[in-house]
Amino acid sequence: MSQPLLSWDSADDTVHPQLVWRNKLDNRYLIEVHRTDGYSGKLYIFDHDKNDQEIFSLDVGLSYGATFGPDVADVQEWQEKALDFIDNTYNKQ
């Protein structure tokens, strides 16, 4: 199981070389995309109420290698996948 690259309380402008994107949802879920190589990464969802336990991961592509940050379309896709998992799978357990 993975852990977040940055702590829950890290400032929004904190950087990590493997971190492509991160966001918080419902003051409970931490969503991060970690770079795994030039054009791919892994989307992770961590449950902060459960000591940042990993609850979901998925291999994802990084358009243009996300050299200058993630592509808007990639972020939209990651948000949709995270919301779908949390709303339709995790919260229905």
Locus of tokens 């993975």: 2
Give the whole-angstrom CA distance, residue 30 versus residue 24: 5
**What sign results for the dihedral spanned by CA atoms 4, 25, 19, 92?**
positive
51 belongs to a structural domain:
yes
pLDDT at 91 > cutoff 90: yes
3 belongs to a structural domain:
no
Model confidence pLDDT, tens digit, residues 74-84: 999 999 999 99
pLDDT at 90 > cutoff 90: yes
- Residue 57 C-beta-side C-alpha neighbours within 13 Å: 12
32 belongs to a structural domain:
yes
Supply the pTM of this predicted model: 0.94
2 belongs to a structural domain:
no
- Number of independent structural domains in the chain: 1
Mean pLDDT over each residue of the chain, to the nearest integer = 96
User: Residue 28 sits in which domain range?
Assistant: 19-92
